[in-house]
Amino acid sequence: MRSFQYTSGPGKHPLLKRIEEGEGLHLDFKYEISDAPKIARSLSAFANTDGGSLLVGVKDNGVIKGVVSEEEFYMVEMAARRYCQPEVEFKTREWNIEGKKIFEVIIPKGKEIPYRAPDKKGDFKAFVRVADENILACGVQMKVWKKQNSDLTISFSGRPEEHNLLDLLKGNHSISLQQIREKTMLSQFRAENLISDFIVLGLAQITNTSEECCFKGTDPEINT
């Protein structure tokens, strides 16, 4: 872990450009850090998705207040080491804007996905980043990760239920698991298992929203 110091010079500060764009898939603002388990959810969500940064000392509306205490760093470290399973790796950078220090926590996409953190009840769950929110990973996503981390051979066997599901996914821009079950009459376990197989094979993808996981087909051809 390294720490960098950057002092603003002439022209617009590079960090201000990022702040003006607002929170999103790769950026989260934190006015202060006082809840390590809550921060662990953000760290794990970034690690489970595509990586990102926390800017500590910035309010949700983009107003820069600056870091109040050096304890902020130790809270982040506690969140990453104690409240993330496995531990989430991160780097830090310090920015100085008009005498106000901003603490940036940089989280790369993880190599040991899925990472888990405590939910509001204290149970360790996997989170993903969707827009500017951290949401629970759905059952299909959990199965995808498990299959990607295993030595299982996933293949398209050409059974009618597989063809029916694939046609359904290709015929919709995005469709929920409940809609899939209603149209195919598959059990939840079977639907999740088949969809996760298709995602691993590159035949489908998850389109997460803050409300639910949806799915759609992709273009690759298959040998049947």
How many separate domains does the chain show?
2
CA distance 171 to 168: 5
Count the Cβ atoms, other than its own, within 10 Å of residue 8. Answer: 15
Q: Which of 109, 136, 163 is the last residue of a domain?
A: 136
Determine the average pLDDT of the residues in 111-139. 96
Which amino acid, 177? L
Q: What is the pLDDT of residue 172?
A: 77
Q: Which of 120, 136, 152 is the last residue of a domain?
A: 136
Could you give the C-alpha distances from 25 to 65, 93, 130, in angstroms and in order?
22, 19, 6
Residue 7 confidence class, pLDDT cut points 50, 70, 90: very low
Q: What is the pLDDT of residue 146?
A: 96
Q: Are residues 89 and 154 in the same domain?
A: no
Percent of the chain with pLDDT over 90: 77
Determine the average pLDDT of the residues in 131-160. 93
Flag whether pLDDT at 221 surpasses 70: no
CA distance 144 to 21: 32
Flag whether pLDDT at 1 surpasses 70: no
131 in any annotated domain: yes
Which amino acid, 79? A
Flag whether pLDDT at 139 surpasses 90: yes
Q: The domain spanning residue 204 has which CATH number? A: 1.10.10.10
223 in any annotated domain: no
Domain that holds residue 203: 139-217
pLDDT tens for 160-185 read 999 999 999 988 789 999 999 999 99
Residue 61 confidence class, pLDDT cut points 50, 70, 90: very high
CA distance 75 to 88: 13
The pair of structure tokens assigned to 215 is 């799915």
Q: What is the pLDDT of residue 224?
A: 45
Q: Which of 115, 136, 157 is the last residue of a domain?
A: 136
Determine the average pLDDT of the residues in 208-218. 87
Which amino acid, 4? F
DSSP assignment letter at 24: B
Q: Are residues 43 and 149 in the same domain?
A: no
- Whether pTM > 0.85 for this model: the answer is yes
Residue 157 confidence class, pLDDT cut points 50, 70, 90: confident
